[in-house]
Amino acid sequence: MDSGIIAALITSSAAVFIAILNLIVKPTPAPPSDKPQGHEPQKSDYRISVVILVFGFLLSVIFFLGSISKYKEIIPDFGYVFCDSLQSNSSMYIEHQKGTILPRLLEWLSPNVVEIITSHPFPKDPNLLQSLNADMSRPTPIPKECLYIESHLRPTNSWSGFILSKHFDFFSVDLSQKSEMLLVLNADSNDIVEIGLKDVENNEAKLKMPVKSGWHGYAIPIANFRYINNRSTFLFLFAHSSTVSLVPDNKFWIAYIGFR
Q: What is the mean pLDDT of residues 171-184?
A: 94
Using DSSP's 3-state secondary structure scheme, residue 4 falls into: helix
What is the model's pLDDT at position 126?
A: 84
Distance CA 64, CA 94 (A): 19
Tell me the average pLDDT across 42-64.
73
Q: Over the stretch 198-211, which tens digit does the pLDDT of each residue have? A: 999 999 999 999 99
pLDDT at 231 over 80: yes
Q: Which residue has the higher pLDDT, 16 or 236?
A: 236
Q: Is the pLDDT of residue 244 over 80?
A: yes
Cα dihedral across residues 237, 243, 247, 249: positive or negative: positive
Query: What is the pLDDT at residue 255?
Result: 95
pTM metric for this prediction: 0.79
- Antiparallel, parallel or unpaired: β 145-152 and 214-221: unpaired
Which domains, from first to last, does the chain contain? 3-68 (no CATH), 82-259 (2.60.120)
- Residues 50-74 have a mean pLDDT of 76
pLDDT band at residue 20 using 50, 70 and 90 as cut-offs: confident
pLDDT for residue 195:
97
Radius of gyration of the chain (CA): 24
Please list the residues that pair with 257 across neighbouring strands.
Answer: 183
What confidence tier does 181 reach under pLDDT thresholds 50, 70, 90?
very high
Angle between helices 43-68 and 3-24 (to 10 degrees): 180
Q: Is the pLDDT at 164 greater than 70, yes or no?
A: yes
CA 158 to centroid of chain Cα atoms: 19
Asked if the model's pLDDT at residue 249 lies above 70, the reply is yes
User: Given a cut of 80, is residue 58 above it in pLDDT?
Assistant: no
The number of C-alpha atoms within 13 Å of 207 and in the hemisphere containing its C-beta is 22
